[in-house]
Amino acid sequence: MYRQPLRRMATAASKQSLKIGLIPADGIGREVIPAARDAILALGSSIPKPEFIELLAGYEYFTRYRTALPDETVETLQNECDCALFGSVSSPSRKVTGYSSPIVALRKKLDLYANIRPVVSVAAEKGQKPTVDLVVVRENTECLYVKQETLTNTENGKEARATRLITERASRRIGQMAFEAALARQRKHLTVIHKSNVLSITDGLFRETVRSVPRLPESSGRFDGVEIAEQLVDSAVYRLFREPEIFDVMVAPNLYGDIISDAAAALVGSLGLVPSINAGDNFVMGEPVHGSAPDIAGKSIANPLASIRSAALMLRHLGYSDGADRIDNAVDEVIRRGDVLTPDLGGKSRTEDVTAEVLKRI
């Protein structure tokens, strides 16, 4: 798995307890976030004593209270929590007056400008090199996800427009995070994903800014050992499926990074295996890549492994690598054995059975 912390925000020696916000939100989030919590608890003294704070958010909460993200949730995360785990949100595909995604809002309010998504296959034998081993570093605060959209009536019918925002500041920050990720890996290879042959201004700014990071005064030669490549987003998706081994760390604007990382999940068998963290300079929030899966919510067949891996990724980013290793190794062994898996991986086990198997191996 992704075994290197990008930036240590804490050390075991400096913390007596670890306050973790839990935001299950919608759908299967309420089934898989408890599994991640239990995996953290199973670590015992490997980490400071965890204290969990249950928090509310989501579309279902919005339908009752007309807000998807209560102020109390944001304030608790900002003032009381060291980190957090977010489950999933059931954002509707149609416009709903007054609603906006709580996860998008949290990323902005907590300045979680990087979404880091490792996609790694599990080798058949322990110690073997995985066939897929890459990390998507996705800018998390702008692009089309600023949600500045308009709908007007014209003589030709309705006309919809969306503003796409790319800034030098956000591109530089995500570029620095991506170079840190590449520097921490064995290959030290970074691919910048863009479409500047068509979007020469917005994607052009992203491309140029990311590529300039090694030349910044504060970089002072730090990233000289990182090889830089580029790939147009459409051909990147094609090559991702044909030859995933060419990629190591991929850095992309928000929308491209979202699409690429979901597509990459197909290479390892299921979205139910792929973790992520939303990271900033002062806070980190784990989040499985899968959605709320309303078709299976409440059936106890949701795959908990992405959430459990997200907990490990969160702990690793905080500096608790030993505990994160124990979780990742346990998940690897469960996948490798293959006899206790949920239906998305071809198994017949229930969510709680898979969770129990991981806990036993932790």
- Euclidean distance between CA atoms 1 and 47, whole angstroms: 19
284-286: strand order across its sheet: 49-54, 17-25, 83-88, 284-286, 277-279, 114-120, 133-139, 249-252, 189-194, 227-232
DSSP-derived secondary structure letter, 82: S
Residue 152 structure tokens: 């007007």
Give the closest residue to 88 by CA, choosing from 350, 307, 353, 311: 307
- Euclidean distance between CA atoms 89 and 103, whole angstroms: 7
Cα dist from 175 to 136, 149, 179, 202, 352, whole Å:
12, 27, 6, 15, 39
- Three-state secondary-structure class, residue 330: helix
- Euclidean distance between CA atoms 338 and 332, whole angstroms: 10
Of 113, 195, 328, 344, the active-site residue reads 195
Residue 72 structure tokens: 């109390």
95 is catalytic: no
Of 82, 258, 328, 344, the active-site residue reads 258
- Euclidean distance between CA atoms 202 and 215, whole angstroms: 21
281 is catalytic: no
360 is catalytic: no
Q: Which amino acid is at 170?
A: A
Q: Give strand ranges (E) for the chain.
A: 17-25, 49-54, 83-88, 114-120, 133-139, 143-154, 157-165, 189-194, 227-232, 249-252, 277-279, 284-286
**For 4, left (φ over 0), alpha (ψ -120 to 50), or beta?**
beta
Of 234, 322, 348, 360, the active-site residue reads 234
Residue 31 structure tokens: 């089934």
Of 145, 203, 256, 328, the active-site residue reads 145
Give me the residues paired with residue 88 across strands: 25
Give the closest residue to 300 by CA, choosing from 6, 21, 32, 22: 32
145 is catalytic: yes
258 is catalytic: yes
Of 99, 188, 262, 325, the active-site residue reads 262
- Compute the C-alpha angle 348/349/351, nearest 5°: 135
User: Which residues are part of the catalytic machinery?
Assistant: 145, 195, 234, 258, 262
